[in-house]
Amino acid sequence: DAGVTQSPTHLIKTRGQQVTLRCSPISGHKSVSWYQQVLGQGPQFIFQYYEKEERGRGNFPDRFSARQFPNYSSELNVNALLLGDSALYLCASSPRGPSSYEQYFGPGTRLTVT
């Protein structure tokens, strides 16, 4: 079975631009979470969506937004990019409810802001 897939793999943007990252969960998984991982740090929680509703939000500015589609895929949008937004963006899906510990991570999208 295919794992969590993310696109694109790598992305280079300029300060002030907007970016959209995409995630397809494992088939049958209804919960999707987004994490940001800055170089040298552990992943930091951004959002969780379950059944197309936002169920959790981390300590990130309003420039970060997300949504989940009827097929449970998800998009993460970041507006007005800053240099500090350069990071690996990870998507994870869960087979159970919104509070499931068992999360399956994708390979991530490497975003570089110049």
Partner 1 sequence: DAKTTQPPSMDCAEGRAANLPCNHSTISGNEYVYWYRQIHSQGPQYIIHGLKNNETNEMASLIITEDRKSSTLILPHATLRDTAVYYCIVRPLGAGGTSYGKLTFGQGTILTVHP
CB 76 within 8 Å of CB 20: yes
Backbone angles phi, psi at 66, to 5 degrees: -150, 170
CB of 62 to partner 1, least distance (A): 19
Q: Using CB under 8 A, which residues numbered 26 to 85 contact partner 1? A: 31, 33, 35, 41-45, 48, 50, 55-56, 58
CB of 16 to partner 1, least distance (A): 28
- Residue 109 within binding range of partner 1, rule CB under 8 A: no
Q: Cα separation of 31 and 72, whole Å?
A: 7
Q: Cα separation of 46 and 21, whole Å?
A: 13
Residue 25 DSSP symbol: P
Of the ranges 11-19, 63-71, 78-86, 105-113, which one interacts with partner 1 (CB under 8 A)?
A: 105-113
Q: Cα separation of 85 and 113, whole Å?
A: 7
Binding site for partner 1 (CB under 8 A): 4, 31, 33, 35, 41-45, 48, 50, 55-56, 58, 90, 92, 94, 97-108
